Structure 1
Amino acid sequence: MTDRTPLPETPDVPALIAAMSLDEKLAQLIGLWLDVSAAGGADVAPMQHEMLSKVGELDDYIGHGLGQLTRPLGSRVVRADEMRSSLRAIQQRVSANSRLGIPALVHEECLTGLQLYGATTYPSPLAWGASWDAESVREMGRRIGSSMAGLGIHLGLAPVLDLVRDPRWGRVEECISEDPYLVGLIASAYIDGIQSQGPGATLKHFLAYSNSQAGRNLAPVHIGRRELLEQFAVPFEMAVKLARPSSVMHSYAEIDGVPVAADPNILTGLLRDDWGFEGTVVADYFGVAFLHTLHDVAADLEEAAVKALTAGVDVELPTGNAYLEPLKAAIESGAVDIALVDRALERVLRQKVDLGVFAETGDDDGPIDLDPVESRAVALRIAERSVVLLKNDSGLLPLGTDVSGAAVAPPRTVAVLGPNAHSAEAMMGNYSFTNHVEVPEGTPIGIEVPTVLDALRAELDGSATVVHAEGCRVRADQEDPEEAAAGIRAAAELARGADVAVVVVGDRAGLFGRGTVGEGSDTDDLVLPGRQGELVDAVLETGTPVVLVLVTGRPYPLTRWAGRAASVVQAFFPGEAGAAAVAGVLSGRLNPSGHLPVSMPRVPGGEPYSYLHPRLGGDNPVSSVDPAPLWHFGHGGSYTSFSYDELSVTADRSDTSGTLSVSVTVRNTGRRSGADVVQLYGRDLFASVTRPMRALLGWARVELAAGESAVVEFSVPADRLALVSRELQWLVEPGAFEFIVAESAGAEGLAARIELGGETRVLGRDRALVTPVSVTARALVEA
């Protein structure tokens, strides 16, 4: 134990660096993961047990200090009343056993809520995207940040800004959308929410991680530089400039043969020089060592450390495999300049100052409630706004109200069937504590998570008889084939005797093949997992009207059933309160208002797909494969109806440097109140490079009573019409542009054209990234 004068809350960083030995400097550039075997013996990071086989005890590593504590609470079951005292004890040891007494920065996962036992589990990011509700996501961030601050957690490893491109990739459920603008604004709101409470947020996974070959985790990425900059980089650029995140995590991707962890053009040139990022770049877990063990671009850990540090990786996580002894050897041999260590160290220490790491007193502030009623309310609101009504042509839904919202007699008997109908785990994503960490058998979930069956019974409240059968399991390898066949027959018999069958199928989140979706749980066919397809077929063959409910972490092609099911509802892992949201939509208590943040495939052979395709990327006469989705990006049904009219496009100046005003009137033409997502798309009709047929320029979520209308005005900077040229410059070119207001990327909508004159304009670092939107209500008109 070292006796010293405590450091001030805002130490002189240059002076502190000057006083540090090489060992003390390197200790600040690593994390330490103590709970190697806490997760029931199962990996919670790629190759975790192989990479952590030599990790010792805390005191073995803190003699020179410690940069970060890796997930000290989130890798095992820790009771809420023990969390703060456990962290305080670790921090006291870190300070007491090192010469300088610099506290460690504590990081945890927080994608769907703070990933701790007993903490609120919010909807998955795909559900955030489906809500199109940045303000509710901002409030979720505030709730998460407040919990982090109360426990002494400084940094959260979220959000994920990867674009959905191939739904076979298991980590699609961690993504927000396929559209970069929707991702950028929603993610920025989340970051702003967390950082408003003191802790920092981490953007991940920078860059192009989701575009891996065939949707396989960590597979190579093949992408042109223009598409990289114009689509995959945009959400990160928006978040860096709009929300100023504390950290950025590099991705595992190798782009055109160059791993991001060793690419200074991306980690320094693009991120810092072009965008002005000032925080720390942290390694995705084992990402520095993977330069040697997986990418084969470094002969040993020493070379891996040199390449990563030179590229701009400031902190090695989760441990110091490369940045301790191997990097020390490289410095002592002259293979790397100590100035690069000092560069990273200055960023690390300034981050600790900014996040209040030096200012903590270690005093308790009272009881801890990680799942308070206020947080559950936010989780419920996002879930309610994220449920997407994909199809309801027959009007089977809602079950308990008419189109005006008035109560009606529901069906006498409702059969609720399927493996996700009565499963709490099915409601939550891969980065929930429940599905991420394998806890000892018999350990309760730790939070209240009703199932769809529970919630629908409560909704119908005895007015209908609700019967239930599982039918089959989500995964075929978890059940006996004969038992599954018998279960499917039993479910069909229940359906045959019911007035309506609600079939709840989908995914089970889990890591590295332990689930049907999640990190390392990729798929090769996009078929509903296990024997769920057989179950759906068997129920449909009974002739009983079917409501097909998907609770999933990815979009599935539903062409096989879409024409036969009366209604189809999509819920992307809606979180601990999600069952009430799904049941509320089924009963009619809630009017669905979710809109797809991704395209729903028609056939697996059309993937990978994005609505942001040029003309030849969609259906065309020169290919026999039609990649057009079954339901388009932005699609979402309602129990009321909306119309658009009075589209107007004007410009404050008719050249490439002005602002265009696009206004439209949206009207609720139905018999009950509801929310519409008014979507504005743009198209550059003729350009120097091929352009998307449509690209989202802005949106507004508008709540309208029956008969009510509102004017939505989008102020579109000409910068939002820019493209990346063949010379890799952002340009606004003169010419004809089309603006479309539509209910989805595939709907006809209303369109207007405008011509921009003048010269081609080269955009700088301060280019406009956001389209401001205003909504003005109009007088109520009788429907």
Structure 2
Amino acid sequence: MNPWNDPSLGDDERIGALMAEMTRDEKLAQLGSYWSKANVGSGDARVAPIEEALAARSGEAEALAHGIGHLTRPYGTRPLTPEEGRAELVRVQRLLTGTTRLGIPALAHEECLTGFAAYGATVYPTPLAWAATFDTALVERMGAAIGRDMASVGVHQGLAPVLDVVRDYRWGRVEETLGEDPYLTGLIGTAYVRGVQSVGVVATLKHFAGHAASRGARNHAPVSIGAREMADVILPPFEMAVREGAAGSVMNTYTDQDGVPACGDEHLLTTVLREQWGFEGTVVSDYGSIAFLHTMHRVAADEADAARVALGAGMDVELPNTRCYGEPLARQLDAGHVAPELLDRAVERVLRQKLLLGLLDAGYSPEDDAGTGRPVDLDSPANRTLARTVAERSVVLLANEGAALPLDPARTPRIALVGPGADDSGTFLGSYSFPNHVLPKHPGHPAGLALPTLREALTAELADVTLTYERGCAVSGDDRTGLPAAVRTARSADLALVVVGDRSGMFGNGTSGEGCDAPDLALPGVQRDLVEEVLATGVPVVLLVVSGRPYALGGFADRCAAVVQSFMPGEEGGPALARVLSGRATPSGKLPVQIPATPGSGPGTYLNPPLGRHSDGISVLDNTPLYPFGHGISYTTFGYEDLRVASGRVPTDGFIEISCLVRNTGDRPGRETVQLYYDDPVAQVARPTQQLVAFGSVGLEPGAAARVAFRVHADQTSYTQDASGDGQRIVEPGTLRLMIGSSSGDIRLSTGIELTGPLRRVGADRHLSHA
């Protein structure tokens, strides 16, 4: 037995023995990846940016001759059954273990943003919907279910979660994020990481860092933010997932910040990530981003020079194919432009991850790894139940002034179902779901799993209601010919349920998704006209928005009997929405982003100092949101009372303990998410007037009450004092205002406390989350 295959030896001894045995070509191979030419898209339907530039330059035999670090998306770029995918994966792994000199298996990675992105696998709600649940335990359960499915067929690494903090709602990838608040993003994202990694699959944090802050909300654009915004808004979710979630991998962003591409940023990838935060995993390139140092950023003379820059910065693995880290990097080593120690540093990280996954153990078998011979159901009943639960918990009831919800067959026996999302389950799915991500390359191919529409679900849910349907218009485009029929259908009903929003796609093949950036926040196509014309009938309207970003609803939301927001609720979205609309499930979701009032004067995000908020007489543009961050009502009501603070004076290294009593003051059971915000009214820099610092949910029967308590360390009020140099964070003595409410715009209780003692400088060992 080779010493590196002996599990009885220590990790360092095994890695050291293997490194000593490897040739340089074998080391270089471990930093590369292979994406079969059969898996790369063509034409208008693509699964990666600039796919033609990412294709493999060599055949399989040449690419794998010395081994390989990663296998790119063996299941996720063609509609393969689990058995077909397993057979192909086992064939390649057997080739690696049986014909290469050292017999090192590859690490197989897949997308898992809305579930395992494989044919026939469960499609869960989008991450923006996870965030709307404000439920870390539920998201961790979902992450574990996704990880189990990937592990069951030999996948070792998942390319999720996205921890980009939304800065501009027009950005196409808003649906992939966890919203606009760094604390909520960090907690939900870390829960997902824990779930995925609890079953032995490596989670990958992306996109490190600043992708969602791209200039003009354009995909792949430069980032124009200051170092303090980067430190206090963009980086904290990543730090939380590294330090508290022990994430095993990080993927860089395509963007540059102040002219420095992340792929070549040693300060970001090494100083911050590894030296300050203690990250010990692998950094993998977003697809093609090392070559982009030459072609897109022009900070490298050619691909060999790009390899030098990236490896020196701390980029360990090149995805999706080896272009720069193969022969071009070898030339740089030969010329003395790259130190051999840098090559060894990255190789050791890759091998250590493979060792931790069991890929180097003497008992490794490709068949056992891929579960050959074991039955597999990638869309099990348990998965579908979990997907529906997440979808239900993510539905946000924005308004119900007309008390139209829940639907009452006795009051509205005839319901008109109108709109492009009413009978199209594709609008429930995110851009990284297999049906929207891959199947457009295979027109006519069946979806591979049940995708009930809202029309089908409501027909089953509302047996005593006469349901009529008319689409009215498409999600996009200017065709208005269907509007009159929709109006006639609405006019003949007691209530009109109008379903508008997005259809997610890739690189312009949708209204939301990667590369589908929006010029403004108006509903796409002629959907606003559809809403207006149905409202003009005088029939009560329930507006249901199913979208990947928030759209401006001012001007007509106040004329609707009820308004509901759903952020692409996945394969069980139809049944979940039907249950909420009928009242069998009570809405409890909260907004992880604000809903703007007007398309062109977006509110930015709620993390604004006074200068960033609307002030009469200063600008004619009112950026006040229509519905604020954290907003979401229920079919019942909740009262807040009896605010208690353990002490009005807390040392700058102490804990703030605060609680309140929450009472269900309505006549239905319900769940309320209680939110704690703070304001630092006098600081050394301009700070937000509100910032989320804790939250917790409580389920209550009518008339019942429960005390919700938070324990927050003073470290959580820290901010970056000096953005130059080492970006020192401080906890500052002085007065803080604490606010408890149902949303950032519905504060019910508040009090002031004093942080006492000296100003404290805090580092990467600071407290990151509440108890």
The TM-score bracket by the shorter chain reads over 0.9
1:305-335 CA-to-partner distances (Å, cap 9, x unmatched) read 1010001000011111111111110000001
Task: Identify the residue that residue 564 of structure 1 maps to in structure 2.
Answer: 559
CA distance in 2, matches of 1:357, 1:432: 28
Q: 2:696 aligns with which of 700, 710, 715?
A: 700
How far the C-alpha of 1:493 sits from its partner, in A, is 0.4
CA distance in 1, matches of 2:487, 2:728: 59
Task: Identify the residue that residue 451 of structure 1 maps to in structure 2.
Answer: 453
| 2:600 partner SS | helix
Query: Kindly tell me: are residues 229 and 266 of structure 1, through their superposed partners in 2, closer, same or farther at Cα, counting changes over 3 Å?
Result: same
Alpha carbons 2:4, 2:17 under 8 Å: kept: no
Task: Identify the residue that residue 392 of structure 2 maps to in structure 1.
Answer: 384
How far the C-alpha of 1:652 sits from its partner, in A, is 9.0
Task: Identify the residue that residue 96 of structure 2 maps to in structure 1.
Answer: 94
The aligned amino acid for 1:748 is: I
Q: 2:48 aligns with which of 39, 45, 48?
A: 45
Alpha carbons 1:605, 1:627 under 8 Å: kept: no
RMSD (CA atoms):
1.6
1:231 aligns with 2:233: yes
How far the C-alpha of 1:129 sits from its partner, in A, is 0.6
CA distance in 2, matches of 1:410, 1:5: 75
The aligned amino acid for 1:324 is: G
| 1:619 partner SS | coil
1:581-626 CA-to-partner distances (Å, cap 9, x unmatched) read 1111111111111110111112233336111111111112422222
Q: 1:357 aligns with which of 343, 350, 359?
A: 359
Alpha carbons 1:412, 1:464 under 8 Å: kept: yes
Q: Stretches of 4+ moved more than 6 A in 1?
A: 3-6
1:658 aligns with 2:654: yes
How far the C-alpha of 1:6 sits from its partner, in A, is 9.5
| 1:645 partner SS | strand
The aligned amino acid for 1:419 is: P
Q: 1:606 aligns with which of 595, 601, 604?
A: 601
How far the C-alpha of 1:757 sits from its partner, in A, is 1.7
Q: 1:142 aligns with which of 141, 144, 148?
A: 144
Structure 2 unaligned residues grouped into runs of 5+: none
Residue range with higher mean Cα deviation, 150-159 or 84-93:
84-93
Superposition pairs of residues 120-135 of structure 1, within 5 angstroms: 120-135=122-137
Task: Identify the residue that residue 777 of structure 1 maps to in structure 2.
Answer: none
Alpha carbons 1:35, 1:72 under 8 Å: kept: no
Query: Kindly tell me: are residues 693 and 36 of structure 1, through their superposed partners in 2, closer, same or farther at Cα, counting changes over 3 Å?
Result: farther
CA distance in 2, matches of 1:399, 1:512: 38
Task: Identify the residue that residue 476 of structure 2 maps to in structure 1.
Answer: 475
CA distance in 2, matches of 1:6, 1:16: 6
Task: Identify the residue that residue 432 of structure 1 maps to in structure 2.
Answer: 433
Alpha carbons 1:7, 1:102 under 8 Å: kept: no
Structure 1 unaligned residues grouped into runs of 5+: 401-407, 773-783
CA distance in 2, matches of 1:358, 1:726: 46
The aligned amino acid for 2:475 is: V
1:500 aligns with 2:495: yes
Q: 1:512 aligns with which of 507, 515, 526?
A: 507
1:586 aligns with 2:578: no
| 2:747 partner SS | coil
CA distance in 1, matches of 2:359, 2:118: 21
Query: Kindly tell me: are residues 5 and 768 of structure 1, through their superposed partners in 2, closer, same or farther at Cα, counting changes over 3 Å?
Result: closer
Percent identity between matched residues is 48
CA distance in 2, matches of 1:279, 1:37: 27
Task: Identify the residue that residue 767 of structure 1 maps to in structure 2.
Answer: 766
1:375 aligns with 2:389: no
Structure 1 length as normaliser, TM-score? Answer: 0.94
Task: Identify the residue that residue 778 of structure 1 maps to in structure 2.
Answer: none
CA distance in 1, matches of 2:749, 2:678: 12
The aligned amino acid for 2:239 is: E
The aligned amino acid for 1:525 is: D
| 2:179 partner SS | coil
How far the C-alpha of 1:7 sits from its partner, in A, is 3.9
Query: Kindly tell me: are residues 457 and 258 of structure 1, through their superposed partners in 2, closer, same or farther at Cα, counting changes over 3 Å?
Result: same
Structure 2 length as normaliser, TM-score? Answer: 0.96
Task: Identify the residue that residue 634 of structure 2 maps to in structure 1.
Answer: 638
Q: 2:531 aligns with which of 532, 536, 544?
A: 536
| 1:112 partner SS | coil
Task: Identify the residue that residue 742 of structure 2 maps to in structure 1.
Answer: 743
CA distance in 2, matches of 1:657, 1:62: 54
How far the C-alpha of 1:411 sits from its partner, in A, is 1.2
1:101-130 CA-to-partner distances (Å, cap 9, x unmatched) read 110000000010000000000000000010
Task: Identify the residue that residue 775 of structure 1 maps to in structure 2.
Answer: none
How far the C-alpha of 1:486 sits from its partner, in A, is 2.6
How far the C-alpha of 1:637 sits from its partner, in A, is 1.1
Alpha carbons 2:666, 2:703 under 8 Å: kept: yes
CA distance in 2, matches of 1:545, 1:315: 56
Task: Identify the residue that residue 19 of structure 2 maps to in structure 1.
Answer: 17
CA distance in 2, matches of 1:280, 1:393: 51
How far the C-alpha of 1:40 sits from its partner, in A, is 5.7
Query: Kindly tell me: are residues 653 and 736 of structure 1, through their superposed partners in 2, closer, same or farther at Cα, counting changes over 3 Å?
Result: closer
CA distance in 2, matches of 1:38, 1:121: 22
Alpha carbons 1:77, 1:439 under 8 Å: kept: no
How far the C-alpha of 1:440 sits from its partner, in A, is 2.2
Task: Identify the residue that residue 423 of structure 1 maps to in structure 2.
Answer: 424
Alpha carbons 1:282, 1:317 under 8 Å: kept: yes
How far the C-alpha of 1:765 sits from its partner, in A, is 2.1
